[in-house]
Amino acid sequence: MKTICVMRDLYKALSRFENNFEAVYGVSLNEAMILCSLDEAQQELTSSELAQRTEMTSSHTSKVIGFTEEKGLIERSLGKVDKRQMLFKLSPKGAKLVKEFAL
């Protein structure tokens, strides 16, 4: 039972942190994880690669990519070998934001 209570306290702290983070930076923690993953990779990544790096489901990753793209923080391009493949990279605005919250 004690473990559940500790987990509850951790969940509440994480929730408060995410609310504060979003108020300051304008992105959710999931969006921030996408941005950090792209920053760390230093190359374009597919949606599947982002899902692996963030450990989000493919469908959730797709939604978060959409939100992040709408905010102008990432850019989409066609694969060079397979034109059906979508690749994602940080936009200049996204790269600037990562530097702000990575401090």
Under the banding of pLDDT at 50, 70 and 90, the label for residue 103 is low
Distance CA 62, CA 51 (A): 8
Report the alpha-carbon distance of residue 24 to residue 102 in Å, rounded: 13
Residue 8 reports pLDDT greater than 80: yes
58 burial (CB, 10 Å; 0-12 / 13-18 / 19+) is exposed
Continuous H helices in 26-91: 29-41, 47-54, 58-70
Q: Which helix (H) or strand (E) holds 88?
A: strand 86-90
Percent of the chain with pLDDT over 70: 99
Q: Is the pLDDT of residue 48 over 70?
A: yes
When pLDDT is averaged across residues 43-62 and rounded to a whole number, the result is: 96
Among 5-19, 25-39, 70-84, the range scoring the smallest mean pLDDT is 70-84
